[in-house]
Chains A and B, each alone.
Chain A
Amino acid sequence: MIVAGCDIGSLTAKAVIMENGQIASSAVIRAKPAPEDSAREVMELALSSMKASPGDISKCVGTGYGRKHIPFVNAVESEIVCHARGAVWQVPTARTVIDIGGQDAKAIRVDESGGVVRFVYNDKCASGTGRFLEIISDALDIRLEDLGDIASKSEKRITLSNQCVVFAETEIISLVNEGAEIPDIIRALHSAVANRAASLARGIVVENDVVMTGGVARNSGMFAALGAALGVSLKSVDNPQINGALGAALIAADTA
Chain B
Amino acid sequence: MITAGCDVGSLTSKAVILKDGRILKTAIIKSRPKPADSAVEVMNQALSQAGLSMGDISSCVGTGYGRDRIPFVSDTATEIACHGRGAHWLVPSARTVIDIGGQDCKAIRLDAGGGMLKFTANDKCASGTGRFLEVMARLLGIELSEIGGMSAESKSPITLASACTVWAQADVIQHLNNRVPVADIAAGINNAMAARMAIIVNGIGCERDVVMTGGVAKNAGVVAALEKMLGLRIKRISRSDPQLAGAIGAALIAVDREKGGAA
Contacts and interface: CB of A to CB of B under 8 A. Distances in A.
A23 interface: no
Interface in A107-135: 124-126, 131, 135
Contact of A163 (B124, B132, B135, B162): B124
Question: Interface range on chain B: under 10, 10 to 19, 20 to 34, or 35 or more?
Answer: 10 to 19
A139 interface: no
A163 B165 CA distance: 13
Interface in A194-215: none
B166 interface: yes
Contacts of B135: 166
B162 A124 contact: yes
A166 B131 contact: yes
A126 B162 CA distance: 10
A167 B103 contact: yes
Contact of B167 (A103, A163, A164, A177): A103
Contacts of A147: none
A166 B162 contact: no
A82 interface: no
A91 B249 CA distance: 61
A99 to B, nearest CB: 18
Contacts of A28: none
Contacts of B152: none
B123 to A, nearest CB: 8
A164 to B, nearest CB: 5
A125 B103 contact: no
Nearest to A165: B166
Nearest to A168: B126
Interface string B127-139: 0000110010000
Contacts of B124: 163-164
Q: Which of A135, A163, A165, A167 has the most CB of B within 10 A?
A: A167
Interface in B132-154: 132, 135
B126 A164 contact: yes
Contacts of B29: none
A122 B135 CA distance: 23
A126 B103 contact: no
A166 B163 contact: no
B126 A167 contact: yes
Nearest to B104: A167
A246 B28 CA distance: 58
A135 B162 CA distance: 18
Nearest to B131: A166
Contacts of B165: 126, 164-166
Interface string B150-175: 00000000000011111100000000
Interface string A158-181: 000001111100000000010000
B164 A126 contact: yes
A164 B125 contact: yes
Contact of A135 (B126, B132, B166): B166
A232 B163 CA distance: 33
A124 B103 CA distance: 19
Q: Which of B132, B162, B166, B167 has the most CB of A within 10 A?
A: B166
A124 B126 contact: no
A177 B131 CA distance: 21
A159 to B, nearest CB: 15
Contacts of A125: 125, 164
Contacts of A177: 33
A172 B11 CA distance: 17
A164 B162 CA distance: 14
Interface string B78-115: 00000000000000000000000001000000000000
A131 B126 CA distance: 16
B131 A124 contact: no
Given A164-B124, A166-B131, A126 B163 contact: no
B165 to A, nearest CB: 5
Contacts of A124: 162-164
A50 B60 CA distance: 76
Nearest to A167: B126
Given A164-B124, A166-B126, A126 B166 contact: yes
Q: Sort A-B residue pairs by CB-CB distance and give the 10 closest, nearest first.
A: A126-B166, A166-B126, A166-B165, A164-B125, A164-B126, A125-B164, A165-B166, A126-B164, A167-B126, A166-B131
19 contacts: A103-B167, A124-B162, A124-B164, A125-B164, A126-B164, A126-B165, A126-B166, A126-B167, A131-B166, A163-B125, A164-B124, A164-B126, A165-B166, A166-B126, A166-B131, A166-B132, A166-B135, A166-B165, A166-B166
Interface of A: 103, 124-126, 131, 135, 163-167, 177
